[in-house]
Amino acid sequence: MTTINHYKAIVFIILRWAVPFLILIGAFVVSQQLGKMSRIAQHQNPIPVRVMQPEFGDLVRTLTINGYVESETIVTVLPLVSGVLQELTVDVGDRVKRDQIIARIDPERFLLQLKQAETAYLSTKSTYERISQLYKADATSTLNFEQAKAQYETYQSQYELAKLQLEYTRIKSPMDGVVLQRHLSVGSLAVPERPLLTIADLNNLLIRCQIPEHYYTLFLESWQDGSSKLRISIRRSDGLILSGKLRSVSPYIKIETKNFEAVISVASGVEDLRPGMFVTNTFELSRIRDVYTLPFSALAGGNRLWYVEDGRAKRSEITITESNDAFFVVTPEWKERDVIVEGWYFLREGSPVVVNP
């Protein structure tokens, strides 16, 4: 038993002194390696990098949705009677006024029908008036009076219909607007089933956008308080930018797409848009004013930034609190630092760098 205790004491003493010794050796080896790496870094060729300093300004979060311009009021004009198109007084691009005569159908057939109906109407009217006098004097039967009245009313209706059909040969514009399309030409057979012209009001244009469900609350609140939270820009394919206004927000989400419809009206420059144009609509969701920002390309994995100090590379971990799709906000202490945005892939702490223009 005494011998065992003696061995235990010896082992304890060895461990007591060996462990700290091994720790010291390990620390020495690590320090030597770090020193070696530092010396290598100090003597290696400078690594070319590109740098930038944080930009000062507003951080804007936006949502971009494509769409097509539509006219709020667009009407396809159909003839109400059949016949040969005798005259078409307007062409594509012409402005028209409400009730302006824009086309005529050959009226000859309808003139003959009107004369025939008028003759029958006047004849039955005379008969009806004569029998009415006799009926008041009890000189004819009630049956004769009712038959004369029915015949008179029938021919009167036919006469009024003939006048109306003749009037329909003069086709009028149903609204103020611009002719977008001609569907028939002079000499064609016009029938109620075939469109004649398409007319649109170009002063009231709108754009329908399909917005992801995630933004529904923001859009709804902005619409209800007068769109003060959303600034909207409308960009044509040639780069022209116009302003828009949120006109309405759909009260439901489409199950198939999980989108809702937002309608934009053109606030200014409506004369620079036409129905059918492809446009890009940018909604300003939020704006943080007077901050310093960097592009996400400056991040070297995670939240690490490299910067240049005294000709050498330094790195620092940051916390991102605000950002949009392309930029993030940094604290003012970074405002004069040369942040490495290209070339940080092969850097080590203290690596010499040369800044490319």
> Highest mean pLDDT: which of 39-43, 290-294, 300-304?
290-294
> 327 vs 10, which has greater pLDDT?
327
What predicted TM-score, i.e. pTM, was given to this entire model? 0.65
CATH number of 78-199: 1.10.287.470
Tell me whether the CATH fold assigned to 62-72+201-289 matches the one assigned to 78-199.
no
Residue ranges per domain, the chain? 1-43, 62-72+201-289, 78-199
Is the Cα dihedral 293, 298, 303, 305 positive or negative? Answer: negative
Mean pLDDT within 124-131: 93
CATH number of 62-72+201-289: 2.40.30.170
Q: What is the pLDDT of residue 224?
A: 85
Residue 13 reports pLDDT greater than 80: no
Mean pLDDT within 61-65: 93
Mean pLDDT within 154-180: 94
Residue 267 reports pLDDT greater than 50: yes
Name the strands in the sheet holding 170-172, side by side, starting at the edge strand that comes first in the sequence.
Answer: 170-172, 101-105, 83-88, 189-190
Residue 18 reports pLDDT greater than 60: no
Q: Which residues contact 352 (CB under 8 A, 6 or more apart)?
A: 41, 42, 44, 45, 46, 47, 311, 312, 313
Q: Which residues contact 27 (CB under 8 A, 6 or more apart)?
A: none
Q: What is the pLDDT of residue 207?
A: 95
Q: Which residues contact 238 (CB under 8 A, 6 or more apart)?
A: none
Q: What is the pLDDT of residue 7?
A: 54
Residue 79 reports pLDDT greater than 90: yes
Q: How far apart (Å, rounded) are the C-alpha atoms in residues 133 and 7?
A: 150
Mean pLDDT within 44-62: 90
Mean pLDDT within 271-282: 92
Residue 41 reports pLDDT greater than 80: no
> 203 vs 77, which has greater pLDDT?
77
pLDDT tens-place string over residues 226-255: 755 688 999 999 999 999 999 999 999 999
Q: What's the whole-number average pLDDT of the chain?
A: 87
Nearest 10 degrees: CA dihedral of 30, 32, 37, 41? 140
Residue 300 reports pLDDT greater than 70: yes
